[in-house]
Every structure is written in structure tokens, then in C-alpha cells.
């Protein structure tokens, strides 16, 4: 019978080419570099190891000295009135005006309120039990009323100056801020005073 002729064997191609259905050669393209090992990839990701200081006491002393230097630098900046060195509650032109106004007053009764509290404590021990409760109550109310009246007066003056010099600036919480500044002795105020008593504000 009829024998089927065997199809001719395809021509052998080199390693970089393969025959497609239409007989066109397709070139295989590689990435051009060897695949890195996993150990090499992990080694690149690791951070360099920093050995701990040999002398822990010396390292701690250096850190303390750096903190002290930073505190001195910040305090010097606060004395100069630099905004970055001030706490958030003390920032702003209105707060600076309030501080300068209080610090420039020659006499502030609230500044010496701590001495009145000390005298009150002594008086409590001197009085008898019957007179102690009513007398102490009246004195405490008087001290609080004095601080509130004086702070309200000074805050009203600062608000008027702020409206003239900084139109549109917020004066919220100014009375409480002035009261806290007033009851502290001048030497213990933070930020420290940058004006002298009697200076014009």
C-alpha cells in the first residue's frame, strides 16, 4: 500500500533561537546578570553593627553634659525672648506683651501673696479652735478675691494694648495667664523677666 512519507526533520537551531509556527526565529532574551544568592541579599539589608561604649559611666556623663548644655542654650534663648525656646503656652505676641507688662510693674500685691499665706498658717496655730474656722475662711476668700481683682485689672490693660498693637490677635485665657504670672516672685518667673521694673511698655 501507500507509505506515508516522513515529515522532514526541522533544521537544528542554535541555543539562542527557536522556530515558531510560521517558521520565524524568535530570539530568547535573558536578564543579562546572574541571580544573586539569598545570603547576599540579606547581607546587604543588614545595618552595620555599632558596638556599645566601653565605658558606660563616661557615656552617661557625656549625655548629662549634653543635656545641661542644651538646657543652658534654651534658657539663654528664653531670656532673649526667642520664640522657639518658649513653651507652647507662652508663645505669641500677646503673651509676650502680658509678661512684659507684669514684669514692668513696680508693685504687684499678688506677688507677695505667698507671704500672706505663710502668715495665715501661723495665725491658724495661734487661734483657738472656735475662732479658727471662721477666721481662716474669711482670709482665704479675701486672698482669692484680691488675686482675681488685680489679675482682672491688669488683663484689661493688656487687652487694650493688644488691640492697639496686634489687631485680630486672640486674647483668650489672658486673665488666668496674668494671674499665674503675678503670684510668682519676680526671680522665679519662667520665662524670666526681660524688662526692668518701671520700664515703659
Is residue 108 within 8 Å of 184, Cβ to Cβ?
no
pLDDT tens-digit map of 110-140: 988 888 888 888 877 776 655 667 777 888 8
pLDDT tens-digit map of 2-41: 555 554 444 444 444 444 444 444 444 455 667 767 777 6
Going by C-beta distance under 8 Å and a sequence separation of 6 or more, which residues neighbour residue 184? 111
* Per-residue cell: 48: 552595620
Rounded CA-CA distance 89/109 in Å is 24
Give the Cβ contact number of residue 154 at 10 Å: 22
* Per-residue cell: 192: 524670666
Is residue 171 within 8 Å of 67, Cβ to Cβ?
no
Given this model, what pLDDT does residue 22 score? 45
Given this model, what pLDDT does residue 121 score? 81
pTM of the complete model: 0.61
Q: What is the percent of the chain where pLDDT is above 90?
A: 27
User: Mean of the per-residue pLDDT values for the chain?
Assistant: 78
**H-run or E-run covering 25:** strand 25-27
Amino acid at each position: 500500500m501507500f507509505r506515508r512519507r516522513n515529515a522532514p526533520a526541522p533544521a537544528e537551531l542554535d541555543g539562542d533561537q527557536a522556530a515558531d509556527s510560521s517558521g520565524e526565529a524568535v530570539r530568547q532574551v535573558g536578564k543579562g546578570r546572574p541571580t544573586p544568592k539569598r545570603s547576599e541579599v540579606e547581607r546587604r539589608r543588614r545595618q552595620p553593627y555599632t558596638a556599645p561604649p566601653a565605658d558606660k559611666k563616661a557615656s552617661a556623663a557625656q549625655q548629662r553634659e549634653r543635656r545641661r548644655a542644651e538646657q543652658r542654650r534654651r534658657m539663654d534663648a528664653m531670656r532673649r525672648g526667642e520664640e522657639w525656646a518658649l513653651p507652647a503656652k507662652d508663645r505669641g505676641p500677646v503673651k509676650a506683651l502680658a509678661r512684659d507688662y507684669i514684669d514692668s510693674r513696680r508693685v504687684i500685691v499678688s506677688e507677695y501673696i505667698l507671704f500672706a499665706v505663710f502668715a495665715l498658717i501661723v495665725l491658724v496655730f495661734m487661734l483657738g479652735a472656735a475662732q479658727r474656722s471662721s477666721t481662716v475662711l474669711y482670709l482665704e476668700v479675701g486672698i482669692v478675691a484680691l488675686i482675681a481683682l488685680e489679675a482682672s485689672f491688669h488683663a484689661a490693660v493688656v487687652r487694650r494694648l493688644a488691640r492697639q498693637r496686634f489687631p485680630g490677635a486672640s486674647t483668650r485665657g489672658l486673665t488666668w495667664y496674668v494671674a499665674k504670672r503675678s503670684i510668682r516672685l519676680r526671680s522665679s518667673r519662667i520665662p524670666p523677666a526681660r524688662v526692668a521694673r518701671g520700664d515703659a511698655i
